[in-house]
Amino acid sequence: MSHEEFIHSLTFEFKRYKKLGDYTLSVLTLEELLWEPYVGTNSIAIIIKHMAGNMRSRFTNFFTEDGEKSWRNRDTEFITPPQTKEELHQLWDAGWACLFGALEMVNADNFNSLIYIRKEPHTVIAAFHRQLAHYANHIGQMVYLAKLIKKEAWISPSIAKGKTQEFNDRLMS
C-alpha cells in the first residue's frame, strides 16, 4: 500500500467518525450535551473536551515532538466542561483541524518515520491507527449517550434498527 492509499483510506475513516460526532453535536441541546447518566461519568461535552485535547496534543508538530505534550493537562479535560455549544464546536473543530493538518503533512519522505507517544515509538501507520481506535471508541460513547437522552426521538445517522433490508435495497437498486 502506498502512503497515498493509506492516507486516503485513513482520511475517509476519520471523516466518517467525525460526521457521526458532528451529527450528535447538532441534534442535542447544551443541557443534553452536559448530561451525565450518574455523577462521575463523562458527559458528551466532557468527551468532546477530552478528544480535542488529545487531538491537539497528538497532532501538533506530529513529526517533531512527542504526542504527549508538556502543555497538555489531561486530567483537566475531565472536569469543567465548556458551557456553550459555540465553545464545544470550537474545541471539536480545532481538534479535527489539527488531526487533518497532520494527515496532510504525510508524504513519501516521512511515511516511514517513527512517531513518539509518551516516549513509545510508533510507525506513522500505528500512530494514526491508535488514534482512530481511540476516537471511534469515544464517538461511539457520544452516540450511545445521545440515544439514551433522545430515546424514541433519536434518528439514527446510520442504518436504523430494523431497517437493514430497506437500506440494502436502496443501495442495490
Give the confidence band of 4 by pLDDT, cuts at 50, 70, 90. very high
* Mean pLDDT estimate for the chain: 95
- The whole model's pTM is what? 0.94
Residue 68 contacts residue 117 (beta carbons within 8 Å):
yes
Q: What's the structural domain count of the chain?
A: 1
Distance CA 64, CA 144 (A): 36
Whichever domain contains 26, its CATH number is 1.20.120.450
- Cβ partners under 8 Å of residue 62, min gap 6: 102, 105, 115, 127
Per the model's pLDDT, the better-predicted residue between 36 and 160 turns out to be 36
pLDDT for the residue 165: 86
pLDDT for the residue 65: 98
Domain extent for 62: 3-172
